[in-house]
Amino acid sequence: MCPAARPSSGISPRRYRSVNDQKVPVAREQEVPPGASRLLNVDGKEVALFNVEGRYYAIGNKCSHRSGPLVRGRVETVPVAPPEVGPGLPAGQATVVAVRCPVHGWLFDLSTGACLTRPSASIPTYPVTCEDGQVCLGSQQGQAAGPSMPVAPSA
Amino acid sequence: MELDKVASLVESEYQFFTKVHDKWSLTKGPQDMELVAHALRVILHMGKVGESLPEYTALVNIQHADGGWGRESTEKESAAWVSAFCALMLIRADAILQNAAVEKSVWKSIEYFLQGQKPDGRWVDSEWGDLDTTSHPVSFFNVVLALGTPKMKDAVRASWRKGLKFIVDAQSQDGGWYDPVFQPSGVETTAHLVQDAVVASLALPEGLPVRPTCEKGLNWILEHQAADGSWDDHNEDHTMDCTRSTLLISRMLRAEEKARPALEKAVDWIVATKNPNGWPDFPGMETNLERTCDGLDVLLKYQAWRQSDPLEMVRRWGYVPGSPTFIRDLAAKV
């Protein structure tokens, strides 16, 4: 489990506008160090940017349950039971990096936006690239189809 | 906190609440039902039930044939969590309204929960953890047992005990309740379960021996408070839950002096982090109307906690058999 994401700036999101679906620089890499998160506003939409051990993820900020702010959520490595696991293989071998909504605990796969708590409730993701020390966001991706469900840890 | 300041905040926040009536009232169109239930709780504790019959009639009118309600007022599928909250608001209101249509609706919701309980005592809702979900029908049944008719009580007693046992048995050794999928930190789950489900059995006959459960739960909540008075990383929702839980449990256990410093810090934090109108989910964010209803609820319950009549606090949860009175109603009659 990673530490809780630490929003690196105040609550008010920085505002950005994409032009013709081009990549938009949204932060310098050192502004969002590993373990940090940042709230962005891209084309009027709130986006939560995370740096998880050097890899960036961008996801819609509002939880699909009760609109909790995912930028304040805890980042976790979650075991899942992937549907492609064949007979004889133990469930839970695969893991995904996910953010847990701080309000009621719903989990979202940071790579795909898939909701691991309720499969029909996925949220959008945004491709993130780093160029010349700048973190750049691409256009919103389609929302993921029903994901694998998380495996509850044994008591 | 000075009671004058609390009263002033209650008045100004209630003014804001009434100003945005269109945003939460079913009489104005489709609504999010969790918000509606939170708003009806404000009406209840403000002593405004008697003048709000249209709000309750609107709630009755959208009840599903199975006795439940959906997450949205237009949704056709019933959901346990929000249905319990709606049913609880109706039975609390009917103690004042004495309205046949409202009572009929309460009966239908009782049937909904009797039919929906699993063999091990739990209720389920795809949007909430089983422990949290179960605490709400148990909370509703607590009030049925306190305020309902004898016939209602006969119908719910066995179901209530099974639900309560499911919750009590799930308490961890450290006093908290944890939901590995929804709430690993345990803060919200513990605060909900101990106040909504468990503690009422101290007042109701035929419950389970829950005093040790409540004592451990209260200790767990107090131990998890941050130095600034908040809970769960400055989470307004969870801080409000823990504050309300501490208000009720400390009164029921007569542990007020032990809890007072934590409560004063918590109320100070909640007041300090509110917006000019309403409360956010986290300090500095925009106002969330549901959280605003929670904030008002906390202030009203804190006012009751400070009253000389120790039972006034408990009446806020409806757990005092046969006495649905409210401070504001009483004040109006003087």
Per-residue pLDDT of chain B (334 residues; tens, 9 = 90+): 999 999 999 999 999 999 999 999 999 999 999 999 999 999 999 999 999 999 999 999 999 999 999 999 999 999 999 999 999 999 999 999 999 999 999 999 999 999 999 999 999 998 889 999 999 999 999 999 999 999 999 999 999 999 999 999 999 999 999 988 787 889 999 999 998 889 998 888 888 899 999 999 999 999 999 999 999 999 999 999 999 999 999 999 999 999 999 999 999 999 999 999 999 999 999 999 999 999 999 999 999 999 888 888 888 898 888 766 555 554 444 3
pLDDT-derived band at A78 (thresholds 50, 70, 90) equals confident
Measured torsion, CA atoms of residues B213, B217, B220, B226, in degrees rounded to the nearest 10: -170
User: Chain A: residue nearest B238 by CA?
Assistant: A103
By Cβ distance, the residue of B126, B183, B237 closest to A118 is: B126
User: Chain B: residue nearest A105 by CA?
Assistant: B182
Query: Once rounded to an integer, what is the mean pLDDT over residues A91-104?
Result: 83
What tokens does B333 get?
Answer: 């009659």
Helical spans, DSSP H, in chain B? 3-19, 21-24, 33-45, 53-61, 80-97, 100-116, 130-147, 150-169, 187-193, 211-223, 236-252, 256-272, 289-305, 310-315, 327-333
pLDDT at position A14: 63
Q: Is B32 in a helix, a strand, or coil? A: strand
**Chain B residues within an 8 Å CB radius of A12:** 284
A77-99 burial: b if 16+ Cβ within 10 Å, else e: ebbbebeeeeeeeeebeeebbbb
Would you say residue A9 has pLDDT above 50? no
Say if residues A57 and A35 touch (Cβ distance below 8 Å): no
pLDDT at position A155: 34
pLDDT at position A10: 44
Axis crossing angle, helix B53-61 with helix B80-97, rounded to the nearest 10: 140
Interchain contact A97–B (C-beta under 8 A): no
Interchain contact B232–A (C-beta under 8 A): yes
By Cβ distance, the residue of B184, B281, B290 closest to A69 is: B281
Interchain contact A147–B (C-beta under 8 A): no
Say if residues A16 and A137 touch (Cβ distance below 8 Å): yes
pTM of the complete model: 0.86
CB pairs under 8 A between A and B: 48
**Chain B residues within an 8 Å CB radius of A7:** none
Tell me the ipTM for this assembly: 0.74
By Cβ distance, the residue of A69, A100, A118 closest to B282 is: A69
Residue A140 to chain B, least CA–CA distance (Å): 24
What tokens does B326 get?
Answer: 């409210």
What mean pLDDT value characterizes chain A?
79
Residue B54 to chain A, least CA–CA distance (Å): 26
pLDDT-derived band at A153 (thresholds 50, 70, 90) equals very low
At A44-69, the pLDDT tens digits run 889 999 999 999 999 999 999 888 99
pLDDT at position B332: 42
Single-letter amino acid code for the residue at B322: G
pLDDT at position A6: 55
Question: DSSP strand E in chain A: where?
Answer: 6-7, 14-16, 24-28, 36-42, 45-52, 55-60, 74-80, 94-100, 107-109, 125-126, 128-131, 134-137
Whether residue A106 and residue B182 make contact (CB cut-off 8 A), yes or no, is yes
pLDDT at position B167: 96
By Cβ distance, the residue of B127, B235, B288 closest to A102 is: B235
**Chain B residues within an 8 Å CB radius of A102:** 232-233, 235, 281-282
More confident residue, B9 or A7: B9
Q: Is A109 in a helix, a strand, or coil? A: strand
Whether residue A105 and residue B183 make contact (CB cut-off 8 A), yes or no, is yes
